[in-house]
């Protein structure tokens, strides 16, 4: 949602803080409008420049309340109660406070001295609230790193290619590598900046033999070509991204490659069905492409490289490590991003908004939506995923209550962490998955 700020002089003594208006295209438009109306809230708040601090804070509470409603997603709306005046979720709260902060920063750029006073009060209070959010998700750091040489090479490679970072690589119990802040980082600080030229995206493909060979074929999407290209690159000694590929884990251990024992233990659960469907889909896709491509293009697709195991490994790499990014060309595309790919996920992340290459600097910036102290793990949001999706495509369950762990009900609604309806009879849950659903039981 783009931030909209406006410094309007209503008789010269008022500043207007304007949230982006609700979009009528939003499927939740009517519900959000109804909630705003019923609470006497508006996306537009007029703050008298002579307002007392206490009154300014009251208006700020209303702005935050309106921002929470405006930023609400379908699940937050479903579990929303008429007497709810609390943060709806860690993500919603971070989004709401950061949206207001962005609007106030824009207003401050053009404000006159009289207006600056009240704007600073609002701005500083939001920063204070962001700094005091108690959102713990500290993985236990085991060592600085396990494979120092490999990670050092990756960071040096990054430096050579223009990567700027205030993060270091460390190893965490149960999560592999992650990144920790090397200094105290505050809201708005850029923790990591990756030049567009260091991003692996379909734009690299255009000149490749593989792209040219497959261009005329129907039924092969650019994303599939990129996945196939990455299989070759991973094993090619002359790849420009050799160090990146070498630094990847040997196995991703996502649900897609769970062994027989793990699958047997999950039999009867919804997760088992999701895993089996995803694996079958990938196997079918592989069988449609191979051995056909090896026969038709033997110089490009070597049989010993394009095995089912390597194909599955590449799928796991793309599922667990890729990010959607809008490139400077304006194209939204799936990318692998060296070094940024080391950031682990949290339901209360430090980095929320990172999906757009800055056209001026031609770089992708990862700025903080909440502070991260030196030595703390810095988390990213991989998106609003339930546990089953995270296990299937990433191979882990996040710490803390995941608000996206919900189960569909027959009436079209959901049961989840905010709702204590008993659902045990609807799903057979293996003890291993207890964490995902314990709040529903
Ligand atoms: C983008 S990579 C992050 C870097 C990865 N930890 C590594 O060592 O290369 C995503 C993978 O990290 C792990 N991961 C990410 N967030 C996690 C979390 N909160 N808890 C446990 N594992 C996590 C999962 O294995 C996931 O598939």
Residue at 9 is within a domain: no
Pocket test for ligand 1, best of 243, 251, 320, 323 (most atoms within 8 A of CB): 320
pLDDT 10s digits, 389-418: 999 999 998 877 788 887 666 666 656 554
Q: What is the pLDDT of residue 419?
A: 39
Phi and psi angles of residue 70, each rounded to the nearest 5 degrees, phi first: -60, -35
Task: Check whether the bond before 291 is cis (ω within 30° of 0).
Answer: yes
114 and 146, same domain (yes or no)? no
Number of domains the chain is built from: 3
Give the ligand 1 atom nearest the CA of 398.
19
**For residue 22, pLDDT beyond 90:** yes
Residue at 415 is within a domain: yes
Distances (CA, A) of 203 to 26, 242, 317, 330, 340: 32, 18, 19, 12, 19
Among the listed residues 423, 425, 263, the one whose alpha carbon sits nearest the alpha carbon of residue 437: 423
Q: What is the pLDDT of residue 416?
A: 57
436 and 357, same domain (yes or no)? no
CA of 176 to the centre of ligand 1 (A): 6
Residue at 417 is within a domain: yes
211 and 259, same domain (yes or no)? yes
Residue at 1 is within a domain: no
Residue at 6 is within a domain: no
Q: What is the pLDDT of residue 207?
A: 78
CA of 128 to the centre of ligand 1 (A): 30
CA of 395 to the centre of ligand 1 (A): 8
Q: What is the pLDDT of residue 218?
A: 81
174 contacts 345 by C-beta, under 8 angstroms: no
431 and 283, same domain (yes or no)? no
Among the listed residues 343, 356, 418, the one whose alpha carbon sits nearest the alpha carbon of residue 382: 343
The answer to whether the CB of 398 is under 6 A from ligand 1 is yes
Q: Token pair for residue 14? A: 């008022």
377 and 433, same domain (yes or no)? no
Residue at 303 is within a domain: yes
149 and 115, same domain (yes or no)? no
Instruction: Take atom 27 of ligand 1 and give the residue whose Cα is closest.
Output: 394
300 contacts 290 by C-beta, under 8 angstroms: no
DSSP state of 20: P
Q: Token pair for residue 236? A: 């090619």
**For residue 338, pLDDT beyond 60:** yes
3-state class (DSSP) for residue 14: strand
Q: Which of residues 77, 98, 132 is at a domain's end?
A: 132
**For residue 123, pLDDT beyond 70:** yes
Pocket test for ligand 1, best of 155, 175, 249 (most atoms within 8 A of CB): 175
The answer to whether the CB of 174 is under 6 A from ligand 1 is yes
User: Average of pLDDT values for 193-215?
Assistant: 91
User: Average of pLDDT values for 26-53?
Assistant: 95
Residue at 330 is within a domain: yes
By residue count, the chain amounts to: 441
127 and 142, same domain (yes or no)? no
200 contacts 337 by C-beta, under 8 angstroms: yes
**For residue 423, pLDDT beyond 60:** no
Give the ligand 1 atom nearest the CA of 137.
19
- 409 lies in which domain range? 405-440
Largest CA distance in the chain: 77
177 contacts 351 by C-beta, under 8 angstroms: no
Q: What is the pLDDT of residue 166?
A: 98
312 and 212, same domain (yes or no)? yes
Give the ligand 1 atom nearest the CA of 249.
9
Q: Which of residues 101, 132, 163 is at a domain's end?
A: 132
Cα–Cα distance measured from residue 356 to residue 372, given in angstroms and rounded to the nearest whole number: 22
Residue at 7 is within a domain: no
Give CA 138 to chain center in angstroms: 18
Which CATH number do you get for residue 314?
3.90.1410.10
User: Average of pLDDT values for 171-195?
Assistant: 95
CA of 314 to the centre of ligand 1 (A): 16
pLDDT class of 270 with cuts at 50, 70, 90: confident
> Please, which residues bridge with residue 170 across strands?
178
175 and 301, same domain (yes or no)? yes
Q: What is the pLDDT of residue 421?
A: 31
pLDDT 10s digits, 235-266: 899 999 999 999 999 999 999 999 999 899 99
Cα–Cα distance measured from residue 197 to residue 349, given in angstroms and rounded to the nearest whole number: 26
**For residue 86, pLDDT beyond 70:** yes
Pocket test for ligand 1, best of 345, 349, 381, 390 (most atoms within 8 A of CB): 345
Give CA 87 to chain center in angstroms: 20
367 contacts 391 by C-beta, under 8 angstroms: no
Cα–Cα distance measured from residue 256 to residue 316, given in angstroms and rounded to the nearest whole number: 7
Pocket test for ligand 1, best of 257, 396, 400 (most atoms within 8 A of CB): 396
The answer to whether the CB of 171 is under 6 A from ligand 1 is no
347 and 227, same domain (yes or no)? yes
53 and 71, same domain (yes or no)? yes
45 and 150, same domain (yes or no)? no
């Amino acid at each position: 949602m783009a931030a909209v700020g406006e410094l309007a002089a209503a008789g010269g003594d008022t500043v207007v803080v304007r949230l982006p208006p609700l979009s009528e295209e939003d499927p939740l438009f009517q519900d959000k409008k109804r909630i705003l109306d019923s609470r006497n809230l508006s996306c537009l708040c007029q703050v008298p420049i002579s307002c007392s601090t206490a009154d300014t804070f009251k208006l700020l509470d209303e702005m935050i309340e309106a921002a929470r409603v405006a930023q609400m997603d379908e699940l937050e709306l479903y579990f929303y109660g008429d007497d709810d005046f609390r943060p709806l979720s860690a993500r919603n709260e971070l989004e709401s406070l950061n949206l207001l902060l962005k609007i106030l920063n824009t207003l401050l750029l053009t404000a006159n001295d009289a207006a600056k006073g009240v704007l600073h009060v609002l701005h500083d209070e939001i920063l204070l609230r962001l700094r005091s959010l108690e959102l713990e998700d500290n993985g236990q750091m085991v060592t600085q790193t396990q494979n120092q040489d490999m990670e050092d090479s990756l960071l040096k490679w990054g430096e050579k290619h223009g990567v700027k970072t205030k993060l270091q690589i460390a190893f965490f119990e149960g999560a592999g590598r992650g990144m920790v802040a090397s200094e105290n980082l505050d809201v708005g600080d850029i923790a990591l900046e990756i030049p567009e030229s260091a991003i692996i995206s379909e734009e690299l493909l255009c000149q490749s033999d593989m792209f040219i060979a497959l261009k005329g074929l129907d039924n092969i999407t650019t994303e599939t070509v990129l996945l196939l290209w990455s299989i070759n690159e991973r094993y090619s000694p002359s790849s420009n991204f050799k160090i990146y590929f070498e630094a990847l884990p040997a196995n991703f251990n996502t649900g897609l490659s769970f062994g027989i024992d793990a699958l047997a233990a999950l039999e009867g659960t919804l997760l088992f069905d999701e895993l089996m469907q995803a694996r079958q889909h990938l196997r079918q896709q592989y069988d449609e492409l191979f051995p056909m491509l090896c026969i038709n293009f033997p110089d490009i697709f070597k049989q010993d490289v394009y095995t089912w195991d390597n194909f599955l490994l590449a799928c796991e790499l793309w599922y667990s490590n890729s990010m959607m990014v809008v490139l400077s060309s304006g194209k939204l595309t799936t990318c692998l991003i060296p070094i940024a790919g080391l950031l682990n996920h949290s339901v209360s992340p430090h980095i929320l908004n990172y999906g757009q290459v800055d056209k001026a600097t031609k770089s992708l910036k990862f700025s903080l939506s909440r502070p991260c102290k030196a030595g703390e793990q810095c988390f990213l949001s991989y998106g609003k995923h339930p546990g089953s999706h995270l296990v299937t495509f990433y191979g882990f369950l996040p710490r803390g209550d995941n608000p996206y762990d919900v189960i569909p009900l027959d009436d079209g609604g959901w049961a989840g962490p905010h709702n204590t309806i008993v659902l045990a009879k609807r799903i057979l849950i293996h003890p291993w998955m207890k964490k995902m659903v314990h709040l529903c039981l």
